Amino acid sequence: MMVFFDSQMKPVRGEEIEVDPRYNLDLACVTAAPPMGKWASSTYDVLLRVDRFGDNLVDQDVYIANSREDLISVGRKAILCLQHTPQDISQDGVRKLFRVGVRMMTIAYNGETPFGGGFKVPNVPLTDAGKELIRWFGESGMILDLSHAGHQTARDALNFIEESDINIRVVASHGGVFEKYPNPRNLPMELLRRIVEMGGLVGVYALTFGLTGEDHLGGFSAFLDHLSYLFGELRGFERSICIGTDAVYRERPISEWKGEFDVMAGSIPQGESFPARFPDTSYEFNTPRLFDIVEHEVRDAFPNFSDGILGENMFRFFSEALPR
């Protein structure tokens, strides 16, 4: 049976959880507490948000995949992620987040944190607190997502994991290739290669302004270009490449879509290094069935690897990474 997985998507309308009945993914990684929302303040608040988020997904027939056994259960499933880490996090806090269903977390979103730097501060290093956080992730079974990490923080994290021999799975769930387009949200190829060599997973997103500097209305050429570049550079690791659209699986009125984009863009300082522009994904992606479009394009472009890109690679990774 073919499986369709997206390593980063959004089923939410603002702070509300709204799963369109036409949504057709078997599994997706979803952010359970928006990094730009009011829930980013403390571990306590995030725990409340995650618990409510999971319950609301289940109410809409999307079930939380906490274990390997959950992956093969019938129905639509979600893996809960956090794109930010509360600044007051403790080892006990990481354990509690894991107990309520969170399986993947980051070090930073865009700016500097007690743990390291996000993509807007690419030269900020991993801190001692960040190293301790990675140890806590490894101890609990939490997957480390370096998608939003600054380049130096990501490099330091990989070095620390290898030097300290920490048992932890690492991904870059949704991003692009910096050498292909130098947006700071994209990681350099040297880091992406190290992630897959460590048994990790790399997902390509569909953000127009993250993939190309061309001022167009969106499309698939840049998205496919980044995937193609990865296949060329990661020969032998084709099973470690997947899709993490970072898209909203709903059909939105353009005015609503533009309003949500303005909130996102307004929360991140803009400039030449991060030139966000609307539409942030192709207009063709304005549908809960957007993965049907992705499937068509990927099968045409990568016939030998399409099943893996569209879901099998991600299924394999989480089958190994999630607890029994």
Q: What is the pLDDT of residues 188-210, one digit of tens each?
A: 999 999 999 999 999 999 998 89
Query: Among 284, 291, 323, which residue's Cα sits nearest to residue 306?
Result: 291
**CA dihedral of residues 93, 32, 79, 126 (deg, nearest 10):** -50
Task: Compute how many other C-beta atoms are within 10 angstroms of the C-beta atom of residue 165.
Answer: 7
Range list of β-strands (E), 46-177: 62-64, 76-82, 102-105, 143-145, 170-175
pTM here is 0.94
According to the model, what pLDDT value does residue 49 have?
Answer: 86
Say what angle helices 189-197 and 221-233 make with each other, to 10 degrees.
60
According to the model, what pLDDT value does residue 23 have?
Answer: 80
Per the prediction, the chain carries an average pLDDT of 89
Task: Compute how many other C-beta atoms are within 10 angstroms of the C-beta atom of residue 75.
Answer: 9
Domains by residue range for the chain, with CATH: 5-321 (3.20.20.140)
Q: What is the pLDDT of residues 128-182, one digit of tens each?
A: 999 999 999 999 999 999 999 999 999 999 999 999 999 999 999 999 999 999 9
Task: Compute how many other C-beta atoms are within 10 angstroms of the C-beta atom of residue 149.
Answer: 32
CB-based contact 146:191 (threshold 8 Å): yes
According to the model, what pLDDT value does residue 57 have?
Answer: 87
- Give the residue, 56 or 94, on which the prediction is more confident: 94
According to the model, what pLDDT value does residue 242 have?
Answer: 96
| CA gap 152, 131 in Å, rounded | 13
